[in-house]
Structure 1
Amino acid sequence: MTAPTLRYERELLRTGATLLGCVDEVGRGALSGPVTLGVVVLSAATKSAPQGVRDSKLLSAPMRERLAPKIRRWALDHAVGHASAEEIDEYGLMAAMRIAGRRALSQLTHLPDLLLLDGNHDYLSPPVQEALFGDPDIDLVPPVVTRIKADMRCSGVAAASVLAKTTRDAIMLELDTEHPEFCWADNKGYSAPAHMDALVRLGPTRHHRRSWSLPGLESLGSTP
């Protein structure tokens, strides 16, 4: 598979953008834990990404851990934001991803004037009804460009995925110490057999996405 490059990012920067934010998410399909968005900010002067940067799904955990500090040193700016399982249940997944994105953008010292988002759906830009509420974080979201398979083709987006993945994995490892029966240290909240079996036996925790019709919702009626 061809390694990602900054070719497309540099094309965007030549169109008038001064700072480009490259964004990717992890945890969208998990049953528990947050949904997490990473963003790295690049300029026209940014050099090629650290060697080995790929979409986080293509890298081993040790490789991701080695790359994360290199990415932080390489990027002009970077941040990671989260939305909790409770927020996913209350607002829906797309809105929760938007919340996580705003939280990431709010941490940046260098706010980009254009965002490159993996996929074909802009879930970061606020719908009209949200803009009408006068949310101060609305102004944090610059124009968005989407690109299918940007995490595979664009090294800025791949780098954002590595930061998001390593940060979310660390959260799931910490939560595993509270609820080891769900084996989150291994499955990171996804639907692995051990996780599903524990859900059936024990019911969901407060870290589970209860709006997702999980197995075990009726068992015990508890929130361990």
Structure 2
Amino acid sequence: MFSSQFPTTDVERSLSPARYIIGIDEVGRGAIAGPVAVGAFVLDLQTLDESKVPAKLQDSKLMTERNREAVFSELSTWQPGYAVGFIEAEQIDLNGIVWCLAQAAVKALEQLNENPTIRQAIADGQVHLLLDGTHNWLDSVVSRIPVTVRAKADRDCVAVAAAACLAKVTRDRHMVHLAESYPEYLLEGHKGYASAAHIEAVRRLGPSEVHRVSWLTKILSGE
């Protein structure tokens, strides 16, 4: 799929006086197998050069796998830091997806907090979180950092598009790795989403340890 829509830093710059904008987005929320992932990408507005934004960066859902991989390489060294947090299927079954999104975000933010520059910026009130969507699922775990929630931020905002791309590539690689242990489910292709081949495999074999069993009721009943 191709779109002419490319993200900008207009929204990020409107969040001044914060110097660091951390874009946050989830990947894998709707899958029936594998973890949910939350990406967090740090954008330094003070040193930002818009001409260095990866040219092929878009909403990760609109990018080809090849372009996501290429952009991943650029993003991973472009700005001060990024992190991806995972929460596995067992916890999704036990605690629900919203709780798991928040905990995956905590994991990502804790990784970023290991960077002394980011840790000091948070202490100094120089960090603002930019979250994709219409619901602030960070409110239960983030209190010291302001959060702006914006629909379509993964399409419109560089920091969030970057977070989504990094999370997508990281999770996809994880699913390819899981496929080595569960080859019958073809995880390397659908990455845990409910494709026809995946549904057929679940009905034939039953769920594996990496499936979200509570999400499979209709599939297993033949609906």
- Shorter chain as denominator, the TM-score bin is 0.7 to 0.9
Instruction: Assess if the C-alpha contact under 8 Å between 2:155 and 2:161 holds in 1.
Output: yes
Which of 150, 154, 158 is the aligned partner of 1:155? 158
Give the SS at the match of 2:84.
strand
Whether 1:166 and 2:180 are equivalent positions in the alignment is: no
Alignment of 1:53-202 (within 5 A): 53-108=57-112, 109=115, 110-111=118-119, 113-126=127-140, 138=141, 142-202=145-205
Which of 46, 49, 57 is the aligned partner of 1:47? 49
Question: Using the alignment, how far apart are the partners of 1:2 and 1:92 within structure 2?
Answer: 33
- Per the alignment, residue 19 of structure 2 pairs with 18
C-alpha distance 204-71 of structure 1, shift in aligned 2 (>3 A) = same
Instruction: Assess if the C-alpha contact under 8 Å between 2:25 and 2:164 holds in 1.
Output: yes
Question: Using the alignment, how far apart are the partners of 2:144 and 2:161 within structure 1?
Answer: 20
Q: TM-score, normalised by structure 2?
A: 0.87
Q: Mind listing any 5+ residue stretches in structure 2 that lack a counterpart?
A: none
Offset of residue 193 of structure 1: 0.8
C-alpha distance 32-19 of structure 1, shift in aligned 2 (>3 A) = same
Question: Using the alignment, how far apart are the partners of 2:36 and 2:85 within structure 1?
Answer: 9
Give the SS at the match of 1:197.
helix
Q: Report how many aligned residue pairs link the two structures.
A: 206
Structure 1 range deviating more: 158-167 or 66-75: 66-75
Instruction: Assess if the C-alpha contact under 8 Å between 1:85 and 1:207 holds in 2.
Output: yes
Question: Using the alignment, how far apart are the partners of 2:49 and 2:24 within structure 1?
Answer: 18
Instruction: Assess if the C-alpha contact under 8 Å between 1:204 and 1:216 holds in 2.
Output: no
Bigger RCO (CA 8 Å, 6+ sep): 2
Question: Using the alignment, how far apart are the partners of 1:140 and 1:178 within structure 2?
Answer: 39
Percentage of pairs with the same residue: 40
Question: Using the alignment, how far apart are the partners of 1:167 and 1:142 within structure 2?
Answer: 25
Q: TM-score, normalised by structure 1?
A: 0.87
Question: Using the alignment, how far apart are the partners of 2:30 and 2:165 within structure 1?
Answer: 17
> Which string of whole-angstrom CA distances, capped at 9 and with x for unpartnered residues, describes residues 21-77 of structure 1?
101110000000000011111122222221110111111111111110200111221
